[in-house]
Amino acid sequence: MLINSPQTVVADALRGMAAAHPELDVDVERRVVVRRDARSGGRVGVVSGGGSGHEPLHAGFVGYGMLSAACPGEVFTSPVPDQMVRAAAAVDSGQGVLFVVKNYTGDVLNFEMAAELAEEDGLRIERVLVDDDVAVTDSLFTAGRRGTGATLFVEKIAGAAAEEGAPLERVAALARRVDACSRSFGVALSACTTPAKGSPTFDLPDGELELGIGIHGEPGRERRPMMSAREIAEVAVGAVLEELAQIGPADGPVLALVNGMGATPLLELYGFHAEVARVLAERGVPVARALVGNYVTSLDMAGCSVTLCRADEELLRLWDAPVRTAALRWGL
């Protein structure tokens, strides 16, 4: 691995982010990344965080039109409440703060505790839980559906609403709507390797793949012999659309994210997106916007996930709104 040591990998990455992005205030010791102008303009603050190893989630999405701050934990480990309270205080301009929380037990408990502590300090806090993964319920890391690719949709749209000056209750309602309208499914072609362990997190023999994996390297719900991109798209998109059908309309437009898990090149991801687009077209689902790349990763895992969000005109407008972060930028 291209690291100094497993013990310093997160701190070293944060030092590198600080050197590369002077527009961010990166507190390496206290593990908080803040947009330097977070308090200007009287905006609602939008704060998220989670274990490291999923980059660019979350720190890569701090900036104009998206997150006000992010709290990186150790690899695949939740940040602690003190980080979240510190982040909330750093971005609060008197309009309140929204916590965006992926549905993993550690994240949920720590963000809940942080919200209570921040409210005791006089801050107004709203929390939104992201639980979009259709593959597995009650996994090793969570009770209920896991939070995966839809986190990007929630952070982008909530951040755009906050940038426009929407009040806290409205920003939170939009974030909850995005989560409710989003579903994801992931596939692994190889397991990931954590710096501390130095070996794959689960055994996946050559010539096999894992359907329904999570972003912490946990195995999925089914193992099969290697499949073509066409076949994988049929399974993944089919599983997502099966649940989205409960939301409707069945022929409504979607935001589509084809997300790499960290070690899959864009050549393969774009080829896979072609198959995803084909399946959606065959099923009469128009793709209003598409995003392809590595955004919610699992260290060096080879594979991908598909996230679809039923999007009306308001959500599309907020998705299209300008954004300027380390990992996502357009319109400026």
Contact 132, 180 (CB under 8 A): no
Residue 251's pLDDT is 79
Burial code (b: 16+ CB inside 10 Å, e: under 16) for 19-30 equals: eebeebbbbbee
Residue pair 250/284 in contact (Cβ under 8 Å)? The answer is: yes
> CB-based burial of residue 138 (10 Å sphere; 0-12 exposed, 13-18 middle, 19+ buried)?
exposed
The answer to whether residue 273 is catalytic is no
In angstroms, rounded to a whole number, what is the distance separating the alpha carbons of residues 254 and 310?
Answer: 5
Listed as ranges, residues in the chain with pLDDT below 50 are none
8 Å CB contact between 278 and 232 = no
Could you read off the pLDDT of 65-98 as tens digits, one per residue? 999 999 999 999 999 999 999 999 999 999 999 9
Structure tokens at 249: 């309309």
Q: Where are the beta strands (DSSP E) in the chain?
A: 24-27, 32-35, 45-52, 63-64, 69-75, 97-102, 125-130, 182-188, 208-211, 222-225, 254-260, 287-293, 303-310, 323-325, 329-330
* pLDDT, position 139: 60
Identified catalytic residue from 21, 58, 216, 273: 216
Catalytic residue among 21, 54, 58, 273: 54
Q: Cα–Cα distance between 80 and 104 in angstroms, integer?
A: 13
Three-state DSSP at 148 gives coil
| Annotated catalytic residue 216 | yes
**Residue 224 β-bridge partners:** 209
What was the pLDDT predicted at 119?
98
* Beta partners for residue 62, in sequence order: 67
